[in-house]
Amino acid sequence: MSISIFLILLLVGCVVGFLAGFFGVGGGVILVPVLISFFELQKFNPNIITQMAMGTSLFIVIFASISSAIKHKKNGNVYIRGVLYIGIASILGAAIGSVIAASLSGEILRKIFGFAVLLVAIRLLVEKSSAEQKENFRPHRTKLIIIGTTVGILSSLTGIGGGVFAVPLMYYLANFPIKQAIGTSSATVIITATSAVIGYIFNGLHNNLLPEFTLGYVNYLHAIPLIIGTAGLARYGAMVANKTSSLWLRKLFAIFLIINSLYMFLK
């Protein structure tokens, strides 16, 4: 990898990390289409580009989530019981999802991703700047297991860490207070994304179409500068968001995601 490519990916990682921290969405929403375009420019085999973009995206998301989870744990917003049940259930879901993802064509996976991004955009458009706190917070383990399994499958099929799915499910299905939903999600994403990455590695080990410096469907060489940039800027995005009236910026970002979704549908 040349110095110029390293610096470009580092800059992209910084932008992705800042946006992820500012808007409170997973970096995978932005990383997957960026990686698909980058791998196309690198002339990698088109039959494995989408799977490799998703596997690499999930690998990067792990590191960003660790940083986020530590911060939320210090603020007392991580519900450990929820992390255990949702996280363990997501392992099974991620295993199922990664097997399905490996068997699907890149075109179908891009459409699944496009639909998921469209849901994220709708959420950003309709959500309020703040949400009311829930009472009687004692979620049943069955609900937590359902959430974890669902998030694991969706995470593997889209290359997104899963927080964008987990937060609304925790809030509406399991009655989580919004801050604990976000904090708990950041911790469970570590487990979910790790499980999904293992699945992408295992299912791509014997694929002869993959380029050098990959482990299964994870391109670890090009992930390095993206990890540095993403992990480094995510916290600053969150800090700026706390000091900014970001409602109108969320709407603009939602419009950007809708365009991104249409691009993935039509690609």
Q: Residue 5: what pLDDT?
A: 92
CA trace torsion 228, 159, 261, 15 (10° rounding) = -10
Torsion of CA 6, 10, 11, 14, to 10 degrees: 170
Positions in the chain whose pLDDT score sits under 70 = 21, 23-26, 127-137, 238, 241-250, 267
Provide φ and ψ at 134, rounded to 5°: -85, 155
* pLDDT attached to residue 133: 53
3-state SS, residue 139: coil
- pLDDT tens across 115-164, in order? 888 887 887 777 655 555 555 667 888 999 999 999 999 888 888 877 77
Q: pTM, whole model, 2 decimals?
A: 0.82
Report pLDDT for 128.
59
- At residue 249, the pLDDT reads 66
